[in-house]
């Protein structure tokens, strides 16, 4: 009886440990907060820090994009919240946007963030419709804008581009 119990407990422990390692291999967290946040999210216990998120929004609306990303990063250290990742991506877009040219490096980071947001959103659909400050409300629009901004196209030579408006 005791042997059966030891074997059963050992099997359960080994499978749990192996599942944890498998999850690490798939999600590839880059720090301890991402590990703990990911584990908390897997059981539905992960929450964004509301105070830091509000700070981030305030900075974002004041065009202080670096500060906004720092605050959003503190609000969502495990990068598990779609809404926060969307704002991070949007901050990269607005900071990298230029009338004559776009900053490819910032757009690249924005694309990575919006991809994270889409992956985290239920069914891949993310719409932020409660923020009038935004001119793009869906992650798909933002992604298309960031993706198009990275590529050099014939339309980039159009002088009318100087009159386009940042979204």
Q: What are the C-alpha distances in Å from 69 to residues 8, 55, 90, 113?
A: 47, 10, 10, 11
| Binding residues for other proteins (CB under 8 A) | 3-4, 6-11, 13-15, 17-18, 21, 24-25, 28-31
Q: Tokens 């105070």 correspond to what residue? A: 51
Cβ atoms of residues 166 and 90 within 8 Å: no
Q: How many CB atoms lie within 10 A of CB 26?
A: 7
DSSP letter assigned to residue 44: T
Name the residue among 108, 48, 133 with its Cα closest to residue 83: 48
Nearer to other proteins, 119 or 127 (CB): 119
Nearest distance from C-beta of residue 14 to other proteins, angstroms: 4
Nearer to other proteins, 17 or 101 (CB): 17
Nearer to other proteins, 31 or 62 (CB): 31
Nearer to other proteins, 6 or 144 (CB): 6
Nearest distance from C-beta of residue 10 to other proteins, angstroms: 3
Cβ atoms of residues 56 and 83 within 8 Å: no
Nearest distance from C-beta of residue 156 to other proteins, angstroms: 34
Nearest distance from C-beta of residue 38 to other proteins, angstroms: 12
């Amino acid at each position: 009886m005791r042997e059966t119990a030891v074997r059963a407990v050992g099997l359960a422990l080994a499978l749990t440990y192996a599942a944890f390692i498998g999850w690490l291999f798939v999600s590839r967290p880059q720090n301890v907060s991402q590990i703990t946040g990911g584990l908390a999210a897997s059981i539905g216990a992960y929450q964004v820090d509301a105070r830091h998120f509000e700070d981030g929004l305030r900075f974002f609306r004041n065009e202080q994009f670096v500060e906004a990303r720092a605050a959003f990063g503190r609000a969502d250290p495990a990068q598990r919240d779609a809404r926060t990742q969307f704002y991070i991506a949007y901050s990269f877009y607005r900071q990298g946007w230029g009338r004559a040219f776009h900053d490819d490096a910032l757009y690249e980071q924005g694309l990575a963030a919006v991809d994270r947001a889409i992956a985290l959103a239920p069914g891949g659909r993310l719409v932020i419709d409660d923020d009038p400050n935004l001119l793009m409300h869906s992650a798909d629009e933002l992604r298309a804008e960031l993706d198009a901004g990275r590529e050099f196209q014939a339309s980039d030579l159009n002088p009318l581009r100087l009159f386009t408006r940042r979204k």
